[in-house]
C-alpha cells in the first residue's frame, strides 16, 4: 500500500510539473498564475504547494541540489575529492539518461533562459552549492585553495550540463548523447586533476 501511495504522489508531482511547464512555454513564466496551474493540473492550490513551495520551484526543482559537498565528505578515505566526484558522475550519467524526458528538459531550460528572474535564481542555487563544497574542501586544503577548487569543479560541471542541453536542443537523442557525455565527463575530470596541459591533443 505504501508503494502505491508513493507512486500516486510521484504521478501527481509529475502532472503538476508538466502542466506548469506547458503553460509557461505557451504564455511565459510571469503571465501564468499558480491558481491557473493548479486548476489545469486538477489539484488544489494547497496540494500544489505541498509539492512545490514556490512558483519558481516548479521550474528550478533539482537545480543546485546535487550534494557535491556530501559526496566529498562521505567518500572512502583512500579516494580524493575528484575521485569521488568522477565516480558519482560516471554512474549518474547513465542513470539520468535512462530516465530522461527529453522534451520536458528542453522546455524547462527554455523557460529558465527566457525568464531573467529564474536565471538569477538558478545562479543563486548553484552558488550555494559551490559554497557548500568549498566549506568541505577547506577542512583539508584551507579556505583559499578550497574556494578555487570548488569554483573550478562547479564551472566544469556547469559546462558539461550546458553542452548536454545544447546537443539535445539541436535534435540529438539521449542515446546519441550518452557516449559523448560519458567522454566529456572523463575529459572534465582529467583536466581538473591534471591541469590545462592535459587538453593538448584532445
- pLDDT tens for 31-64 read 999 999 999 999 999 999 999 999 999 999 888 8
Residues 30, 113 within the same domain:
no
pTM: 0.84
Q: How confident is the model at residue 189 (pLDDT cuts 50, 70, 90)?
A: very high
* pLDDT at residue number 173: 86
Q: What is the three-class DSSP state of 176? A: helix
The answer to whether residues 94 and 163 belong to one domain is yes
**Whether residue 14 sits in one domain with residue 90:** no
Q: Who wins on pLDDT, 176 or 201?
A: 176
Scan for cell 508503494, then name that residue: 3
Same domain, yes or no: 66 and 50 = no
Show which of 34, 55, 76 is a domain's final residue.
55
Residue 95 pLDDT greater than 80, yes or no: no
Tell me the C-alpha distance between 149 and 82, whole Å.
10
Residues 171 and 133 in one domain: yes
101 and 39 housed in the same domain: no
What percent of the chain has a predicted confidence (pLDDT) above 90?
70
Q: How many domains does the chain have?
A: 2
Asked if 46 and 67 sit in the same domain, the reply is: no
Assess whether pLDDT exceeds 80 at residue 96: no
Domain boundary among 37, 55, 73: 55
Kindly tell me if the per-residue pLDDT of 99 is higher than 80.
Answer: no
Distance of CA 33 to the CA centre of its chain: 25
Range of the domain at 192: 62-199
pLDDT exceeds 60 at position 201: no
Please tell me the predicted confidence (pLDDT) of residue 130.
96
Amino acid at each position: 500500500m505504501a508503494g502505491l501511495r508513493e507512486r500516486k504522489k510521484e504521478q501527481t508531482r509529475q502532472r503538476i510539473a508538466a502542466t506548469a511547464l506547458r503553460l509557461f512555454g505557451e504564455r511565459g513564466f510571469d503571465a501564468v498564475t499558480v491558481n491557473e496551474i493548479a486548476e489545469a493540473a486538477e489539484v488544489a492550490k494547497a496540494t500544489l504547494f505541498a509539492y512545490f513551495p514556490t512558483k519558481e520551484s516548479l521550474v528550478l526543482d533539482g537545480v543546485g541540489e546535487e550534494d557535491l559537498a556530501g559526496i566529498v565528505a562521505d567518500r572512502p578515505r583512500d579516494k580524493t575529492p575528484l575521485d569521488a566526484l568522477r565516480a558519482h558522475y560516471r554512474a549518474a550519467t547513465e542513470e539520468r539518461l535512462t530516465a530522461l524526458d527529453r522534451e520536458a528538459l528542453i522546455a524547462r531550460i527554455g523557460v529558465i533562459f527566457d525568464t531573467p528572474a529564474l536565471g538569477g535564481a538558478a545562479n543563486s542555487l548553484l552558488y550555494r552549492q559551490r559554497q557548500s563544497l568549498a566549506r568541505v574542501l577547506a577542512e583539508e586544503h584551507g579556505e583559499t585553495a578550497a574556494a578555487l577548487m570548488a569554483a573550478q569543479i562547479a564551472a566544469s560541471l556547469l559546462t558539461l550540463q550546458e553542452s548536454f542541453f545544447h546537443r539535445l536542443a539541436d535534435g540529438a537523442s539521449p542515446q546519441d548523447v550518452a557516449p559523448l557525455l560519458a567522454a566529456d565527463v572523463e575529459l572534465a575530470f582529467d583536466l581538473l586533476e591534471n591541469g590545462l596541459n592535459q587538453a593538448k591533443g584532445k
